[in-house]
């Protein structure tokens, strides 16, 4: 299993306590809107499959979040919250004088559109009580400790706003604009459901830290992973600008060249992580008409004298991959597929859904459009015999190097140069079948044999060509990064295509893009992955 996520504060057989970052929902707001931390944890490892939510935090609220892992703990903790024996403490910041806020606030709370408002205890939907005390002054405003005796939706935010002290960043309730809502669940005190011992959990907070950093550190462990998306455009308050860490280097991407202020930001980020420097590449739509020199990232700066080599290695869930900034537009690894590669590595797609029921060892895996063979390496490390198929000899050779970097013998696996559809027909004629088929095609491609391929209109053709090669009860990974292809349409199309061939879907799991690629209404998700077990 990959390293334990750094958001985990405490765990035993009955409890899981995490420090939820701001910007991450407790629960997914809809099936295709990205995972909340609850779904992310439950589908990450079998030991977390039975997690139950005991409390919730708003998306922009950070801090201690408690889950139960057993029926016994779920019952006990629910009773503790209902009887109000649980002690909760939050920290908030308001830039308004708190003189009218301090002390006990006891009101009713009513729903009003998308917000909540206070009312009399007698006439409101529910009653709510919060105690506020002053902690001190900060550069953002007054630091206040809030102790809610009840657990109503938006309770602290509504109570503070009703007393003329909206939270900094809480624009919904009249607060001053800020990158995040300054509310943090700092402390939680409960009685252990089995031992009856009093447990207290604590998580510090720094409201001045950019929201992107805690979101990544919660879900990416730098001890076994040195590559992730650090800034992802609008959701991270960097519209049109995307920055990745790739081992010892940063890779920046935008439609334009960076200005001096942006380069200074990159230097600060590189210094913080003690990295060697940064590259930048411009977003290009017509990559096929350009040379490698024209499309390759350009080195912006380096803190280490004498480094000329553009090649670099990174770690991802303990697996080593080669990346290269001098080989064209793509540097060798698409970080948005990190979680899917981990699923292969650990033979665990989701709850009750192993990649292969009996394990990947000695299973046959076909990785079409294999690129530099990231999926292939993880499958091979799990014990599978892998066939990697791609239209580029260069990338297949790169894939062989990735095998060698991880102590795998490339000669024990197949690397096939050629057109995917042509080879699918060859495999079908030979009655060749695989326990796992991986389909992660480019948005657009062109070959002499099959002509032009467009994912948005041709994905069903790919599924039809792959189905005869999938062994009964086998697993198919179907993925697309075509932004214009809606996830609902993607899933429906694949399901109907499978049904049209008389095959039955036994198990399915939709996986959105990972948490370090956040999405919102202004910048929706683009990556869609559907895992299927097919009879």
The CA-based diameter of the chain, rounded to the nearest angstrom, is 80
User: How many CA atoms, within 13 angstroms, populate the side-chain half-sphere of residue 28?
Assistant: 17
User: Crossing angle for the helix pair 374-381 and 393-405, nearest 10 degrees?
Assistant: 30
pLDDT digits (tens, 9 = 90+) for 430-440: 999 999 999 99
pLDDT at 3: 78
How is residue 230 written in tokens?
Answer: 């650090």
Neighbour count for residue 290 (Cβ, 10 Å): 13
Q: 141-144 contacts: CB < 8 A, separation 24 or more? A: 141/93, 141/94, 141/95, 141/96, 141/168, 142/93, 142/94, 142/95, 142/96, 142/97, 142/98, 143/91, 143/92, 143/93, 144/91, 144/92, 144/93, 144/94, 144/98, 144/101, 144/102
- Give the closest residue to 114 by CA, choosing from 41, 186, 198, 58: 58
Q: Where are the beta strands (DSSP E) in 391-469?
A: 414-417, 434-439, 444-447, 451-454
Which residues participate in catalysis according to the annotation?
Answer: 58
- Alpha helices per DSSP H over 177-291: 212-219, 260-272
Q: What percent of the chain has pLDDT over 90?
A: 86
Element (H, E) at 179: none
pLDDT digits (tens, 9 = 90+) for 229-241: 999 999 999 999 9
- pLDDT-derived band at 443 (thresholds 50, 70, 90) equals confident
pLDDT digits (tens, 9 = 90+) for 463-503: 999 999 999 999 999 999 998 889 999 999 999 999 999 99
Residues 6+ apart with CB under 8 A from 426: none
**How much of the chain is helix, strand and coil, in % rounded to 5?**
25, 30, 40
- Residue 35's Cβ-count burial label (10 Å; 0-12, 13-18, 19+) is buried
DSSP-derived secondary structure for 60-81: T-EEEEEEE-SHHHHHHHHHHH
Integer Cα distance of 366 and 387 in angstroms: 5
pTM for this predicted structure:
0.93
How is residue 77 written in tokens?
Answer: 């903790």
Instruction: Judge whether residue 214 has pLDDT over 90.
Output: yes
Helix and strand tally (H, E) in the chain? 12, 27
Integer Cα distance of 399 and 322 in angstroms: 9
pLDDT digits (tens, 9 = 90+) for 88-128: 999 999 999 999 999 999 999 999 888 999 988 887 778 99
Instruction: Judge whether residue 448 has pLDDT over 70.
Output: no
Domains and CATH numbers, the chain: 8-202 (3.30.2350.10), 221-314 (3.30.750), 334-534 (3.40.50.150)
Residues 189/198, Cβ–Cβ less than 8 Å: yes
Integer Cα distance of 336 and 374 in angstroms: 12
């Amino acid at each position: 299993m990959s390293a334990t996520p750094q958001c985990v504060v405490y765990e035993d057989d009955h409890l899981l306590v995490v420090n939820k970052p701001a910007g991450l929902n407790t629960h997914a707001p809809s099936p295709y809107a990205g995972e909340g931390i609850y779904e992310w944890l439950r589908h990450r490892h079998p030991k977390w499959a039975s997690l139950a939510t005991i409390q919730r935090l708003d998306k922009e609220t950070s801090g201690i979040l408690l889950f139960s892992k057993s029926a016994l703990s779920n019952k006990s903790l629910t009773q503790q919250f209902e009887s109000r024996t649980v002690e909760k403490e939050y920290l908030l910041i308001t830039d308004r004088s708190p003189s009218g806020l301090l002390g006990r606030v006891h009101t009713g709370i009513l729903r009003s559109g998308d917000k909540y408002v206070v009312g009399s205890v007698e006439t409101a939907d529910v009653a709510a009580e919060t105690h506020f005390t002053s902690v001190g002054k900060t550069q953002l405003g007054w630091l206040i400790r809030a102790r809610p005796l009840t657990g109503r939706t938006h309770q602290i935010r509504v109570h503070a706003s009703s007393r003329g002290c909206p939270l900094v960043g809480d624009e919904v309730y009249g607060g001053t604009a800020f990158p995040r809502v300054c509310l943090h669940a700092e402390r939680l005190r409960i009685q252990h459901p089995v031992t009856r011992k009093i447990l207290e959990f604590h998580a510090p907070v720094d409201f001045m830290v950019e929201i992107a950093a805690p979101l990544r550190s919660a879900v990416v462990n730098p001890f076994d992973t040195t590559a992730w998306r650090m800034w992802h455009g609008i959701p991270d308050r960097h519209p049109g600008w995307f920055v990745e860490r790739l081992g010892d280097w940063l890779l920046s991407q935008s439609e334009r060249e960076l200005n001096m202020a942006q380069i200074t930001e990159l230097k600060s980020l590189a210094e913080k992580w003690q990295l060697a420097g940064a590259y930048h590449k411009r977003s290009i739509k017509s990559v096929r008409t350009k040379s490698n020199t024209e499309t390759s990232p350009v080195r912006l700066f380096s803190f280490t004298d004498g480094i000329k080599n553009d090649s670099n290695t990174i770690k991802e869930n303990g697996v080593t991959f080669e990346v290269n900034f001098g080989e064209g537009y793509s540097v060798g690894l698409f970080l948005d597929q990190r979680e899917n590669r981990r699923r292969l590595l650990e033979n665990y797609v989701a709850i009750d859904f192993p990649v292969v029921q009996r394990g990947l060892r000695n299973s046959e895996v076909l990785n079409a459009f294999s690129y530099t063979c990231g999926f292939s390496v993880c499958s091979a490390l799990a014990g599978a015999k892998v066939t990697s198929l791609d239209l580029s000899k260069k990338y297949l050779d790169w894939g062989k190097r990735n095998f060698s970097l991880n102590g795998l013998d490339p000669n024990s696996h197949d690397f096939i140069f050629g057109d995917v559809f042509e080879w699918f027909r060859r495999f079908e004629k030979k009655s060749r079948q695989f326990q796992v088929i991986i389909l992660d095609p480019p948005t657009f491609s062109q070959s002499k044999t099959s002509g032009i391929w467009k994912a948005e209109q041709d994905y069903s053709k790919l599924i039809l060509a792959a189905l005869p090669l999938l062994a009964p009860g086998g697993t198919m990974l179907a993925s697309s990064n075509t932004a214009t292809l809606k996830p609902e349409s993607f899933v429906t199309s694949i399901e109907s295509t499978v049904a049209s061939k008389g095959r039955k879907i036994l198990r399915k799991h939709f996986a959105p893009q990972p948490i370090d690629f956040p999405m919102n209404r202004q910048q929706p998700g683009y990556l869609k992955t559907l895992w299927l077990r097919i009879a």
